[in-house]
């Protein structure tokens, strides 16, 4: 029978501990304000439409991947090509919802979300930096699975960029109205 | 089509879009979209807006 090393079980235990501590943190934060995001009817509509667009983009990417993805495996591992599709779908959803004012909930402060995204991107880039330093980013001359950190970091920064551009656009529009 | 009657009713009570949105429980952008005619609200939201502004549905949303 296959048995796991003690490091595996330590990892599992640490994972559980991490999840429990996150839940405890949320429970603690929940005391003064509800955690559930509230969206109005127009925002729900926008989010639904964004999800639909993201799904179809992901589907088209998937079909493209079936027929032409193999040709890109000389550059990157296939798992990376698949992961790019998921990130693209997430970006389409986020960008559409942000641009149509449906992404941030009524009881949510957008700058907090942006801060979390920037923080996550920084962690992703730090991990990517370590992997580049170790030389793990490439395997047999192809981009390896370790590049997921770099790709998700870039996706998060792209989402933050959409928030910034949208705010600038909104500001310009409001200035024009005055 | 722009809903100028809603905008006028809001302005007559000296409400900003944000104030009306807070009272109705929607985002400011939703009120803005209704006024611009970019979004058709549900009957529930129409009623909520009418109650806050002290108007009838006909006065704010009926189109001849």
CB contact under 8 A, A42 and B33: yes
pLDDT value of position A177: 62
- How close is the nearest chain A Cα to the Cα of B43, in Å? 11
Judge whether A144 and A78 are in contact, CB under 8 Å: no
The answer to whether residue A52 is domain-embedded is: yes
Which of 79-118 (A) contact B at CB < 8 A?
Answer: 101, 106
Residues 6+ apart with CB under 8 A from B12: none
Model confidence pLDDT, tens digit, residues B12-50:
999 999 999 999 999 999 999 999 999 999 999 999 999
* CA A155 to each of CA A113, A121, A168, B50: distance values in angstroms, whole numbers, following the listed order: 15, 8, 20, 42
Q: Is A43 near chain B, with CB under 8 Å?
A: yes
Residues of B in contact with A101 (CB under 8 A): 27, 29-30
Within-domain flag for A157: yes
Size of interface A-B (CB pairs under 8 A): 26
Q: Is residue A84 part of a domain?
A: yes
Instruction: Decide if A80 contacts A145 (C-beta within 8 A).
Output: yes
Residue A2 lies in a domain: no
What's the confidence (pLDDT) of residue A42? 95
Taking CB atoms within 8 Å and a gap of at least 24, the contacts of A165-169 are: A166/A98, A166/A99
Dihedrals φ, ψ of A143, to 5°? -65, 125
> Are residues B25 and A101, on separate chains, in Cβ contact within 8 Å?
no
Q: Parse chain B into domains and list their residue ranges.
A: 4-55
Total count of domains within chain A: 1
User: Whole-prediction pTM value?
Assistant: 0.80
b/e code B4-25 from CB counts within 10 Å (16+ = b): ebbbebbeeeebebeebbbebe
What CATH fold (topology level) applies to the domain B4-55?
434 Repressor (Amino-terminal Domain) (1.10.260)
Decide: helix, strand or coil at residue A139: strand
Nearest to A42 among B25, B30, B44 (CB): B30
Contact B52, B24 (CB under 8 A): yes
Question: Which residues of chain B lie closer than 8 angstroms to A43, CB-CB?
Answer: 27, 30
pLDDT in the model for residue A1:
53
pLDDT value of residue B64: 73
- For residue A130, give its domain range: 39-174
Which of helix, strand or coil describes residue B9?
helix
Q: What is the mean pLDDT of chain B?
A: 92
pLDDT of amino acid A176 = 67
pLDDT in tens, chain A (178 residues): 567 787 888 888 889 998 998 888 777 666 656 567 899 999 999 999 999 999 999 999 999 999 988 888 888 888 899 999 999 999 999 999 999 999 999 988 899 999 999 999 999 999 999 988 888 888 888 888 889 999 999 999 999 999 999 999 988 887 766 5
């Amino acid at each position: 029978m296959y048995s796991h090393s003690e490091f595996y079980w330590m990892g599992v235990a640490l994972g559980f501990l991490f999840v429990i501590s996150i839940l405890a943190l949320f429970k603690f934060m929940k005391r003064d304000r509800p955690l559930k995001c509230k969206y109005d009817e127009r925002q729900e509509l926008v989010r639904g439409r964004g999800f639909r667009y993201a799904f179809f983009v992901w589907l088209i990417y998937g079909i493209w991947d079936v027929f032409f993805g193999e040709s890109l495996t000389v550059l990157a591992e296939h798992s990376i090509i698949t992961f790019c599709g998921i990130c693209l779908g997430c970006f389409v959803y986020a960008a559409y919802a942000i641009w149509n004012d449906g992404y941030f909930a009524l009881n949510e402060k957008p700058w907090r979300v942006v801060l979390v995204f920037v923080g996550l991107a920084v962690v992703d880039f730090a991990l990517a930096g370590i992997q580049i330093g170790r030389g793990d980013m490439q395997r047999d001359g192809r981009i390896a699975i370790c590049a997921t950190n770099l790709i998700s970091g870039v996706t998060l920064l792209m989402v933050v960029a959409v928030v910034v551009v949208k705010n600038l656009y909104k500001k310009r529009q409001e200035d024009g109205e005055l | 089509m722009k809903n100028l009657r809603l905008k006028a009713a809001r302005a007559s009570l000296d409400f900003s879009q944000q104030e009306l949105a807070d009272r109705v429980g929607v985002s400011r952008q939703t009120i803005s979209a209704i006024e611009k005619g970019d979004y058709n609200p549900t009957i529930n939201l129409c009623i909520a807006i009418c109650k806050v502004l002290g108007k009838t549905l006909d006065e704010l949303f009926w189109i001849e």
